[in-house]
Amino acid sequence: MAFKFRAWTMSAALSFAAIFTGCSPESTDSSNILVTDVNHTIVKRQSIGNCWLYAQATWLESLLLDKSGEATDVSESYWTWWHWYEQIVGTSVSEIETGGSWRTSARIALAHGWVTEGEFISGEQDVEMSVRQAVALNTLNAALSSGNLDTRAKRTPENVRKVLDEVFGSDMANAESISRSAALTDVGNNSTLEDALRGTGKRWTVVDFPQVYGKKGRITARVKKARKSVLQRVMKALNDKKPVVMTLMIDFNALDINDQTFKKSLLDTNGIGGQGGHMVVLEDYTVTNAPGFGDIGEGDVADVMKAAAFEGDIVLLKAKNSWGKDRPDRGLTDGYTRFDAAYLFSQLEWKYGEDEDNTSFYTTLTDFVLPPGY
């Protein structure tokens, strides 16, 4: 199923303030036994629907951190600028689309490289949430409907660049001059960023999670086997501390703010609520039934235990999110969210279109982005 994934916008957050929550302190039950620990940088908080660009930045920051040992604040605003530029130039679009996908973000990074947040918008260096993005979006949409970009004739490259710089408070010409080229950026394993996003044999690849459709759709033995194969590839990559990207559907009625976990059992009780597509970057996972161990140790465990975990059954996946670090409204204290296996692997009810009564049943988990060789 192909569709663009939207993160939760600032305006939507105001409408759904009671249910927009995240991670809370860990509980002590066995479902919190973790196997590995991917290196990540600071948690950020999106203000508009561009979780997919935050996931791209998180992925790149993790690779750079692993390579150099130094944390980097990659600018999501820089890539957002380019995403909007592409939508406007020479078109008659009346409103900016903030949603996107891994393939779109990879293409933007390949075409324009990357800069740090401080290099693009100096006032947002070391700031958790870019308020500038939300303000820029509202201002730009106004310009598209009744301002200096309200006709196709006005949407020349020069004029669009000028307006985008005005709404962002940026200097794109300068940012372009100092951007790190995808062809030159070393992200480890003797690869450049271009290799990782496009290179033959070195490219990170989108791997679909085997889907089941319909409320009564059966998870056959063949589907189970295919899913196990994909999940083992994910576990292997995480064991080797690779930042695996995951795309899924979110329903906030499934969120337990007491242990920062999305649970199918809560959705079964509460019914469907606020929904949308989302993209995150994995840090860890929980297993049970690992041969010889059952539930596996805490954090980054010995190789023999990781090998056993590889043969076990996933109970939950833990991800670095883009909803901010300390979010009482989402239960967050560390910026990380958990998703239990039943929530991820079941075909649940999802709304689509403008009519909220129009729904369909399909698997929550959509795909992973895996490194070469996994």
Domain extent for 118: 10-370
Q: Report how far residue 144's alpha carbon sits from residue 136's, in angstroms, rounded to the nearest whole number.
A: 12
Task: State the CB neighbour count (10 A cutoff) for residue 88.
Answer: 23
Burial string for 94-132 (b: 16+ CB within 10 Å, else e) reads eebebbbbbebbbbbbbebbbbbbebbbeebeeeebbeb
The answer for residues whose C-beta is within 8 angstroms of residue 59's C-beta and 6 or more apart is 243, 245, 281, 369
Residue 340 lies in a domain: yes
Taking the C-alpha atoms of 258, 259, 262 and 268 in order, what is their torsion angle to the nearest 10 degrees? -50
DSSP result, 119-143: HH-GGGTT-SB-HHHHHHHHHHHHH
Residue 5 lies in a domain: no
Token pair listed for 138: 């509202």
Cα separations in angstroms, 148 against 78, 83, 145, 167: 22, 19, 9, 12
Task: Count the domains in the chain.
Answer: 1
Which of 94, 92, 56 lies closest to 76, judged by CA? Answer: 56
Q: Compute the radius of gyration of the chain from its Cα atoms.
A: 21
CATH number, domain at 297? 3.90.70.10
Residue 2 lies in a domain: no
Q: 261-262 and 336-340 as β-strands: parallel, antiparallel, unpaired?
A: parallel
Residue 295 lies in a domain: yes
273 class by beta-carbon count within 10 Å (0-12 exposed, 13-18 middle, 19+ buried): middle
CA geometry: angle at 312 spanning 306 and 315, to 5°?
Answer: 105
Predicted confidence at residue 353, as pLDDT, reads: 66
The answer for residues whose C-beta is within 8 angstroms of residue 306's C-beta and 6 or more apart is 35, 36, 239, 296
Residue 46 lies in a domain: yes
Predicted confidence at residue 27, as pLDDT, reads: 28
Predicted confidence at residue 38, as pLDDT, reads: 84
Q: Report how far residue 146's alpha carbon sits from residue 168's, in angstroms, rounded to the nearest whole number.
A: 19
- Contact assessment for residue 6 and residue 276, using Cβ atoms and an 8 Å cutoff: yes
Cα separations in angstroms, 247 against 5, 28, 42, 218, 355: 8, 28, 20, 22, 24
- Contact assessment for residue 240 and residue 4, using Cβ atoms and an 8 Å cutoff: no
Predicted confidence at residue 140, as pLDDT, reads: 98
Which of 87, 85, 97 lies closest to 158, judged by CA? Answer: 85
Taking the C-alpha atoms of 130, 43, 48 and 370 in order, what is their torsion angle to the nearest 10 degrees? 130
Residue by residue, pLDDT tens for the chain (374 residues) are 233 444 433 333 323 222 222 222 222 233 344 566 788 999 999 999 999 999 999 999 999 999 999 999 999 999 999 999 999 999 999 999 999 999 999 999 999 999 999 999 999 988 999 999 999 999 999 999 999 999 999 999 999 999 999 999 999 999 999 999 999 999 988 899 999 999 888 999 999 999 999 999 999 999 999 999 999 999 999 989 999 999 999 999 999 999 899 999 999 999 999 999 999 999 999 899 888 988 874 467 778 888 888 889 999 999 999 999 988 888 788 999 999 999 999 999 999 866 667 899 999 999 999 999 99
Beta strands in 289-353 (DSSP E): 313-320, 336-340, 347-351
Q: 261-262 and 255-256 as β-strands: parallel, antiparallel, unpaired?
A: antiparallel
Residue 305 lies in a domain: yes
